A and B are shown apart, each in its own frame.
Chain A
């Protein structure tokens, strides 16, 4: 019985490398939602298997860079017999067109979901322009 809301698997996408990684492992792109509310830009990323202490968020030159390192120690001693997905670290960056007040970025990690709140800097806040 199919429902309208049936979930489909989204194959994990590998990061297209601009620079070579120092470790010979594959890195994946976290599934991301981005939305704006009021004066804040919200970025929500799914990084299952990443502990909150293994997340790195930076804003440099208008680029938001997020990295999440997978804790794969729990796979020790396990022998795969049937697999449908692969695992790895996560990395993704976005061009942020609005000016972000990088000192006020808030990050929260819960159940493998990273939520970022990026407040816009004063100068970047939308202004309503009245037509005379």
Chain B
């Protein structure tokens, strides 16, 4: 578990090390399908549920499509980085184009309660586990 961070100086380092520790983990191996590896996705556990965080700066919300079904989430869209015609370019590093990725999670998704938030160029998808997927305690009679 990351945090609580507070305002300590090494809080960010702790987060970076936690993220680093799971880089290219095989947790989702073979279960992320995509036409390309864009956009990069981080997946977190929050209690029973999952949160997917995706960096997509400068997106138009209308160009973003998120679909959830059973245990998969599809994130598709078009990223733009266009400028006026008569400019003289010094440096061009930003990428633009279409993307389409499907993420398969090891849970059944409650598709009614899934929600997405886009703030400061970061897309966060909150994925609740379906009620039917939650463990039940069985009373011995």
CB distance from A27 to the nearest CB of B (A): 10
Tally of A-B Cβ pairs under 8 angstroms: 200
Known A80-B21, A82-B22, A83-B42; contact A46-B91, beta-carbon cutoff 8 A: no
Q: Which A residues are in CB contact (< 8 Å) with B50?
A: 81
Please count how many residues in chain B sit with their CB below 8 Å of the partner chain's CB atoms.
64
| Contact status A25-B13, CB under 8 Å | yes
Q: Does B25 contact A (CB under 8 A)?
A: yes
- A74 to B118 Cα, complex, angstroms: 13
Please count how many residues in chain A sit with their CB below 8 Å of the partner chain's CB atoms.
54
| Contact status A110-B43, CB under 8 Å | no
CB distance from B74 to the nearest CB of A (A): 15
Q: Which B residues are in CB contact (< 8 Å) with A76?
A: 2-5
- A25 to B13 Cα, complex, angstroms: 5
Minimum CB distance partner of B31 in chain A: A82
Within 8 A of B (CB), among A8-46: 8-10, 22-26, 31-37, 41-42, 44, 46
- A7 to B25 Cα, complex, angstroms: 22
Minimum CB distance partner of A86 in chain B: B19
| Contact status B94-A75, CB under 8 Å | no
Show 8 A/B contacts (Cβ-Cβ < 8 Å), sorted by A: A5-B98, A6-B35, A7-B98, A8-B38, A25-B13, A33-B89, A35-B88, A72-B15
Q: A48-B121, A71-B120, A113-B58 are in contact. List 13 more A-B contacts (CB 8 A).
A: A6-B98, A7-B36, A9-B37, A33-B92, A33-B94, A35-B90, A36-B88, A37-B84, A50-B121, A72-B15, A78-B46, A79-B1, A80-B19
